[in-house]
Structure 1
Amino acid sequence: MQSFYRTVYGWLVAKIGATAIKYALSSVISVVVTEAVLFLVFGVFRLFSAEVSNVVATGVAAVPSYYLNRNWAWGKSGRSHFLREVVPFWSLAFIGLALSLVTVGFAQSFAHSHGFSHITDALFVNFASMVAFGVVWVGKFFVFNTWLFRSKSTSEVGQA
């Protein structure tokens, strides 16, 4: 068992482990922002439908998520490259949103068909949104780490 802990510790202190931890913490912040905006816009103020509220929440949370991931988790600085970083990041955010819209619509329909109160409906919608984004979370890490925010290795820098 002690070797297991050493292995886990070794992974955590490695660059990929530190990046993964920072990505996870950035995601926690993004989830809190998304869920808070979604609950306020849909659950408290009832400004929009569950689906429209979900789009608003995703758009709001994607901005700090991008900068937390790019600057803090992957340590990139300087101007963002629009086609290599910004467009793919937002594309992934909206792939998650598309899945989330399906689950949110299903959750709201389920809650309505069972005669739940609006607050229960709002909780179902929030939970559905969180589950949908959780499904794409692991895949996004590998996309970010492999293509989107990866640093050039010394051999690539020498060839450029």
Structure 2
Amino acid sequence: MQSLYRTVYGWLTTRIGVTAIKYAMASVISVMVTEVVLFLVFGVFRLFSAEVSNIVATGVAAIPSYYLNRNWAWGKSGRSHFLREVVPFWLLAFLGLGLSLVTVGFAQSFARSHGFPHLLDALFVNFASLVAFGVVWVGKFFAFNIWMFGERSQQGVISR
């Protein structure tokens, strides 16, 4: 068991390990923003359908997510490169959104067909959104690290 801890600790002290932890923390913040906005817009204020509310929540959360990932997790500064960073980031965000729209639509349809009260419907929609974005989360890390923000040579050990 101790060798497992050493292996995990060893990986966590690499640049990629630290980046993965920061990515996870940025994702937690992004998910919290998405879920709060979705619950407020759909569950509390009932401004839009579940699908439109999901689009709004994803768009709002994508902005801090981009900057947290680019600047903090991958340590990039300066102007963003539109074609190498901004466009792929939004494409990945909309890929997650597309999957999320399918799951949110299914969740709302299921909840309504079973006569769930609105609060339970809203919680069901939030959960469906969370699951969908969780599915694409790992893939986004590799896309960010390989093609967008990372340098392939950054996998060395962090100097202490």
Q: How many angstroms apart in 1 are the aligned matches of 2:4 and 2:104?
A: 39
Deviation at 1:150, TM superposition (A): 1.5
Q: Which residue of 1 aligns with 2:126?
A: 126
Runs of at least 4 residues off by over 2 Å: 151-154
Q: Which residue of 1 aligns with 2:17?
A: 17
SS in 2 for 1:80: coil
2:77 corresponds to 1:77? yes
Q: Which runs of 5+ in 1 are unaligned?
A: 155-160
Q: How many angstroms apart in 1 are the aligned matches of 2:131 and 2:87?
A: 24
Q: How many angstroms apart in 1 are the aligned matches of 2:33 and 2:7?
A: 33
- Which is helix-richer, 1 or 2? 1
Q: Which residue of 2 aligns with 1:97?
A: 97
Q: Is the 8 A contact 2:71 2:77 kept in 1?
A: yes
Q: Which residue of 1 aligns with 2:136?
A: 136
Q: Which residue of 2 aligns with 1:52?
A: 52
SS in 2 for 1:108: helix
- The alignment of Structure 1 onto Structure 2 pairs a total of residues equal to 154
Q: How many angstroms apart in 2 are the aligned matches of 1:36 and 1:19?
A: 26
**Coordinate RMSD, CA, aligned:** 1.1
Q: Normalised by the size of structure 2, how large is the TM-score?
A: 0.94
SS in 1 for 2:46: coil
Deviation at 1:58, TM superposition (A): 0.1
2:63 corresponds to 1:63? yes
What percentage of residue pairs aligned between the two structures are identical?
83
Q: 1:8 to 1:152 in 2, by over 3 A?
A: closer
Q: 1:10 to 1:73 in 2, by over 3 A?
A: same
Q: Which residue of 2 aligns with 1:5?
A: 5
| Cα-to-partner distance string for 1:20-64 (whole Å, 9 max, x where unaligned) | 000000000000000000000000000000000000000000000
Q: Which runs of 5+ in 2 are unaligned?
A: 155-160
SS in 1 for 2:123: helix
Q: How many angstroms apart in 1 are the aligned matches of 2:138 and 2:64?
A: 19
2:30 corresponds to 1:27? no
2:150 corresponds to 1:150? yes
